Amino acid sequence: MRNNLDNTLKAYCAAQRDWVDRHLASAISIKKPKCFHLVVTNLSPFITCYSWQKYEMAERANLLSLLGGEFPHLDELAKKLSGKVDLWVAHSLGSEVFSLFRLWQTRRLLTPWLLTSNLSMPFTGAFSRRPRLCCTHWGTIPPPR
């Protein structure tokens, strides 16, 4: 995971404005730390029998809805790490994780943040070239500042 995060940060540093424009990062001022502790957790506090992606979207939604839209285990972690986090990173294979992370992060005003592909797999760069998030009626949705 650590090596894949390093590769993600290199890709971000090479195209910061693009990552921000595509809502994959909170700012162009995120610095790649020289040394860091990597703390990893899941949105779901439940241990599942299979990997998360093997469950149908409705099953994942059902598990996450048991928490009432809140993630108290993440709140506790954020509280314990308060003032000691250089970067919040959400990683996923392309499920609901990014939306739920941004909802949680925005409510708590946690910055800076970065979204990336699953850190358990090598970073290919294709993730950062995905289409821009937008709505046709309202235009581009700006990230919270």
Tokens for 62, please give them: 């059902």
CA distance 120 to 143: 26
3-state secondary structure 54-93: HCCHHHHHHHHHCCCCCCHHHHHHHHHCCCCCCCEEEEEC
Whole-model pTM? 0.79
The pLDDT tens digits for 12-65 are 999 999 999 989 999 999 988 888 888 888 888 887 888 877 888 888 888 888
**Contacts (Cβ under 8 Å, ≥6 apart) of 121:** 4, 93
| Confidence at residue 126, expressed as pLDDT on a 0 to 100 scale | 62
